[in-house]
Amino acid sequence: MLPRVRAMIRLLTLQASYTYERLQGIGIAAAQEPLLEPLGKDSPRAREARVRSAEYFNAHPFLAGIAVGALSRAELDGEDGNRILRLRTALSGPLGALGDQMFWAGIVPALMGIALVASALGRGLEVIVGTVIGYNIWRILITGWGLRFGLAHGMKVAGELAHSRLRQLAVGVGALGAFVIGAAIPWVGLWLLGGSGRSMVAMVLLVSGGFGVGLATIRRPLPVPVITLGAGLAVLLWYWSRS
């Protein structure tokens, strides 16, 4: 199998070897290994490159291919080891922030908001299947693009990244995610509360309360799942004690 294809497959499982010490470091090293094969198996250069490739690293997993490509290109070009490590450190934060903004705060909430509204309208399953297929095709394409982008630009990747349209795209999808989630809130509330007139009043009260609590705890988030579990168990105990 072609080294790039093997690197690509390993990138799709990047976080399987995640640790709290090196975060994605081992995953990055596993993805870089096929790309470093031209350096040989036992040469000092190959060994040094493999040691560097397993150092601490953390970025958004979908954009980590950019780092894998760029770092591998730099190793193959014989760049100084310290410069390569500096590039590694320099890429970690921006690729994390950019990807988090684009995917976790933008695309994923937007897609889930659309799927929630579709479910409320009775078309959930079709929309979900279509969304998952489309999202995964795009996820694979962007990982492959990142790998090619990194391999093409090597040590110059940070500068090239600054000129790419990814940043503008991230801002745009962030706004889209916020809008879609906002639009989904009333639909979801009414759907899950049953859709009666009484549900409308309950939904308005719950959404207003939700915004109140959300704004009051914006800096110190509450453990909502734990609180909900506790409240649910209290309700169960109350009913059992009465029956």
Partner 1 sequence: MSELPITALILWATIAGLDLASVLQGLLNRPLVAGGIAGGLIGDPVAGLAIGGSLELFALDVLPVGSARYPDYGAATVAAVAYGAGQPWPSALGLSVLVGLALGLVGGWTAVVHRRANARALRRLSPALERGDAGVPLRLHLIGLAGDLVRSGGLALLGLGMVLGLLQLPRIGPAAGQALTVVTVAGGLVAMIGGALRRAGTVRRMAWLGAGLAAGALSLGLR
**Quick one: CA torsion of 212, 217, 218, 220, rounded to 10 degrees?**
-170
Nearest CA-CA partner of 60 in 21, 91, 16, 26: 91
* Cβ proximity of 69 and 10 under 8 Å: no
| Closer residue to partner 1 in complex, CB, 45/148 | 45
Question: What is the per-residue binding string for partner 1 in 164-203, x denoting contact by CB under 8 A?
Answer: ----------xxxxxxxxxxxxxxxxxxxxx-------x-
Beta carbon of residue 156, minimum distance to partner 1 (angstroms, whole number): 26
Interface with partner 1, residue 10, by CB under 8 A: yes
Beta carbon of residue 55, minimum distance to partner 1 (angstroms, whole number): 10
Q: Contact with partner 1 (CB under 8 A): which of 42, 78, 168, 241? A: 42
Beta bridge partners of 23: 19, 57
Among the listed ranges 63-71, 72-80, 158-166, 226-234, the one in contact with partner 1 (CB under 8 A) is: 226-234
Distance from the Cα of residue 211 to its chain's centroid = 26
Structure tokens given for 101 = 């903004």
Among the listed ranges 63-71, 78-86, 128-136, 161-169, the one in contact with partner 1 (CB under 8 A) is: 128-136
* Cβ proximity of 31 and 14 under 8 Å: yes
Beta carbon of residue 103, minimum distance to partner 1 (angstroms, whole number): 9
Interface with partner 1, residue 62, by CB under 8 A: yes
Interface with partner 1, residue 18, by CB under 8 A: yes
| Closer residue to partner 1 in complex, CB, 71/184 | 184
Interface with partner 1, residue 226, by CB under 8 A: yes
Burial class (CB in 10 A: 0-12, 13-18, 19+), 184: buried
Interface with partner 1, residue 149, by CB under 8 A: no
| Closer residue to partner 1 in complex, CB, 30/70 | 30
Classify the C-alpha dihedral 210-215-216-217 as positive or negative. positive
Identify residue 7 by its one-letter amino acid code. Answer: A
Interface with partner 1, residue 236, by CB under 8 A: yes
Structure tokens given for 99 = 């990807």
Which residues neighbour 42 within 8 Å (Cβ) at sequence distance 6 or greater? none
Distance from the Cα of residue 239 to its chain's centroid = 42
**To which H or E segment does residue 29 belong?**
helix 25-35
**Residues within window 103-122 making contact with partner 1, judged by CB under 8 A:** 104-105, 108-109, 111-112, 115-117, 119-120
**To which H or E segment does residue 236 belong?**
helix 224-242
Among the listed ranges 14-22, 64-72, 79-87, 148-156, the one in contact with partner 1 (CB under 8 A) is: 14-22
Interface with partner 1, residue 75, by CB under 8 A: no
- Number of residues this chain uses to bind partner 1 (CB under 8 A): 99
Beta carbon of residue 85, minimum distance to partner 1 (angstroms, whole number): 14
